[in-house]
Amino acid sequence: MAAPQVDGNVGSRLDVPAAVPQISKDSPTQDPAASDKPKPVRTRPQKPNYFLIHSKPLPLETHPLPAFVPQNPLSLLRIAYIYLSQLISAPSSHREVPITGIFSSETRSVHITDHASVRALWEMGFFGKGTMSRSEPSWLDREKARLKASKRGGGTAEENTRKRREERKLFKLERARAEAEQIEETLRQERAALGSAKQEKDEEKATEIAISHVFPWMQQQDGDAEFKEETKAVPAEDTKPQEPVTNIVEVPILPIGTTIHTAGIQDETAVTEPEEEVSITNQEHLQLNLEESFFLSYALGSLRILDPNTKQPFSSPSLLTLFRQHSHFPTAPISTLRADDPFLLNYVVYHHYRSLGWVVRPGVKFSCDFLLYNRGPVFSHAEFALLIIPEYAEGSIEAAEGKGKMGWWWLHCVNRVQSQVKKSLVIVYVKVPKDLPSSENGEVDIGKLLRGYEMREFVIRRWLANRSRD
């Protein structure tokens, strides 16, 4: 590797010490209070380090060889030693405790209940979805935060939102009232400026008459004198005798966090200690769709899928047949399975893009089959939306019937949705083979079956006349 070029006029930091700026007598001195000024407090909580949490793209352990340094010949010996040690005792790429899931025919998915396995699948590749969350399984953390906020008096997020809306409503009403008063004051000043002296005298006289009727004790002693600015009000004496105040209970000052229970008027107060933190049982599990489950089980070997009845793990061929059956609704019998089963078409595309390093997520929310992320949902939005269309060979019955073809109205609707969410629409044509390879000894060669499918990709962008003018 070539060394970086260094300008000859610029010296090294180690050779030339940094120049210390000298303060002249004429220069203004710095205010010592400015240096002691506290920094603003961060109001938002600091985000977690996602680059460290999601550093591994797949739930596998890799053991790469160290880098070779040409300037250090001893690095070659280290590479040879590690290579020979891995040949003698090859390290495992899988976890010591395998990830185990249970297939659910009702939801057509695989459920992971172990919390450590759930976090491993999400942090290493963004697999699955929390059953009580939008995407990431974070129900336990949100529930702890909600209980903590309720103890402090903060309440849940919904309650805080309602409070903010009420405060905003009151603020708008107060602002409207102040604006109305200001307008009324301006109009009054304009009317006073345009009014004649006679009108002002009549108004003053009317005001004096009104005040004399309402507050007779504020009448003027001199008839032709103006009202004084300072007047003393002499309240009338209350003829009703005051009753003596009895049963006064002195409440002691208690520390924050204590609770006082009173029942009527008692001589003592019951003080309870603050409650301890209640342990919360995690009620959420991870839900994997059929494509994710088969990729983790067949392609990576990181997942064992158990039969809910026998509690025995499925083999890869039996799992393929099971998923092909459940890709239809209602569940299709084995005799009716074909080469264009929805599971086979979806898994071919899923396996292709996962092997290229993309993070593939379901795209039903955006009217597509899959979404492609560069690194994951926590880093950026999805860049591409995939639509899978089967392509049949010429002369087949499906091609004669026009199966797999969509109308232009449908394509324009889907493309409009993707343009609104700022995603590029990719049409993926999957060429369906005429016949599937025959099974040997009752088991299908999955690799040979997948190699019979071909893919073609087309990126479609919405054409706008205003942006395409000369």
Which domains does the chain show, CATH number per domain? 338-470 (3.40.1350.10)
Q: Spell out, as residue ranges, where the chain has pLDDT lower than 70.
A: 1-45, 152-159, 196-201, 203, 206, 210-278, 395, 397, 399-402, 440-442, 467-470
Residues acting as catalytic residues: 373, 381, 423
Task: Output phi, psi for 415, to 5 deg.
Answer: -65, -35
Alpha carbon distance 368, 385 (integer Å): 6
416 Cβ contact list (under 8 Å, min separation 6): 462
CA angle 207, 209, 211 (to 5 degrees): 70
Q: How far apart are the first and last CA of the chain?
A: 47
The structure tokens listed for 241 are 């005798």
The structure tokens listed for 159 are 């309650």
Task: Output phi, psi for 455, to 5 deg.
Answer: -130, 145
Number of other CB atoms surrounding residue 362 within 10 Å: 17
Please provide the DSSP assignment of 196-211 as one string. Answer: -HHHHHHHHHHHHHHH
pLDDT score at 150: 72
Instruction: Single out the residue of 301, 294, 298 nearest to residue 324, CA to CA.
Output: 294
The structure tokens listed for 326 are 């459940």
pLDDT score at 238: 47
Please provide the DSSP assignment of 258-326 as one string. Answer: -EEE--SS-SS-EEEPPPPPPP------EEE-HHHHHIIIIIS--EEEE-TTT--BPPHHHHHHHHHHH
370 Cβ contact list (under 8 Å, min separation 6): 346, 349, 350, 353, 360, 361, 362, 363, 385, 386, 388
Is residue 384 within 8 Å of residue 426, measured between CB atoms? yes
The structure tokens listed for 212 are 């004399």
DSSP code for 180: H
- Alpha carbon of 427 to those of 135, 227, 458: distances in Å? 25, 88, 5
Alpha carbon distance 204, 192 (integer Å): 12
pLDDT score at 442: 64
Is residue 111 within 8 Å of residue 101, measured between CB atoms? yes
pLDDT score at 146: 80
Segment 39-47 long-range contacts (CB within 8 Å, at least 24 positions apart): none
The structure tokens listed for 202 are 């009549």
Alpha carbon distance 4, 2 (integer Å): 6
152-182 pLDDT, tens digit per residue, is 665 556 667 788 899 999 999 999 999 999 9
Residue for token pair 């324009």: 412
Is residue 297 within 8 Å of residue 323, measured between CB atoms? no
pTM for the predicted model, two decimal places: 0.66
Alpha carbon distance 382, 423 (integer Å): 7
